[in-house]
Amino acid sequence: MKTLISRTLILLSLLTIASFYSFSQESTKISPYVQLQYFKDNNDNSSLKTTLTYSKNRMEIPLEGMKIIFYSGNEKKNKIAEAVTDEKGVAVCDLKEKSDFSSDATGQWSFSTDFEGNDTIESGSAELSIRDVILKMDLAEVDSVKTITLNAEKIENGIEVPASGEMLTVYVPRMFSLLPIGDVTLDDSGNGSLEFPADLPGDNEGNINIIARFEEHPEFGNVEKTATLKWGVPSSYTVPKGHRALWTKVAPLWMIYTLSILLTGVWGHYLFALISLIRIRRNAKKDESSDLRNI
């Protein structure tokens, strides 16, 4: 009887440890964040982008090497592609034949993305509904006034209708980011215009890139049109010979002088401390010798 009770207690202990280990394994699983975006570039090429990340110590960390599955359709999903996330946690699916995508009664496409998860990461998914939009950009200069004219028509029930009331942002690329130069709100005909600034620097010949975008639009996603014209002020970005700056190979003189003074002060203190230690040691030996003579 005692043997049976002992075996029962051992079995219950093992089951408790196993269940605790299983619970701890489940509780330490990473909960990922899945983001699905739609992009349409200047050549009307469309793509889906899935970003897979997780949060740790208030930092967003990408998940690399994870398989992502892309689907089209809402109720009846059709698998359209598989991709693996890169070092930024991004997987891209190029949409080639739009006619193959099923749409709802209003003409919207439905897309979704799935991550199946693994032993250490939970599964995740995201969905997106997109309405196709046709964006056009015309650039004209009349009486030295440079004007950007935009037109957008969306597809509703298979018919192109003006995207009235929608807002686009116009940018020009700068060294580190895009510089917004204005917003354009489309009228009832789907048209809008913006006067381009006359004092923006371009390249050596005055060429400048102009970008008009729908950004993270709830219906259209990310859609852009780009063009390059000589609308900028010609600027030379070559560094003159002998020029000293923070980004050149030779540092500015004020920085060299400041650093030299600081280093001289630091090493001077070290030298002073070393000399003081030597003098203290010599004085100690002298005092010890004088004490011995007195004895």
pLDDT tens sequence for the chain (295 residues)? 555 555 555 655 566 555 545 544 445 788 999 999 999 999 989 999 999 999 988 899 999 999 999 998 877 788 899 999 999 999 999 987 655 676 777 778 999 999 999 989 999 999 999 999 999 999 998 888 899 999 999 988 888 999 999 999 999 998 889 999 999 999 999 999 999 998 888 888 889 999 999 999 999 999 999 999 999 888 876 667 777 877 777 888 888 999 999 999 999 999 999 999 998 888 888 777 776 676 6
Domain ranges for the chain, please list them.
33-130, 133-229
Q: Do domains 33-130 and 133-229 have the same CATH topology?
A: yes
Residue 93's H or E segment, with its range, is strand 90-95
| CATH number, domain 133-229, options 1.20.120.920, 2.60.40.730, 3.40.640.10, 3.40.50.1110 | 2.60.40.730
Cβ contacts of residue 289 below 8 Å, gap of 6+?
Answer: none
- CB 247 within 8 Å of CB 157: no
User: What pTM did the predictor assign?
Assistant: 0.71
- CB 33 within 8 Å of CB 122: no
For β-strands 33-40 and 221-229, DSSP reports them as: parallel
What topology is assigned to 33-130 in CATH? Immunoglobulin-like (2.60.40)
What is the rounded CA–CA span in Å between residue 193 and residue 230?
Answer: 19
Q: Three-class SS of residue 245?
A: coil
- CB 164 within 8 Å of CB 188: yes
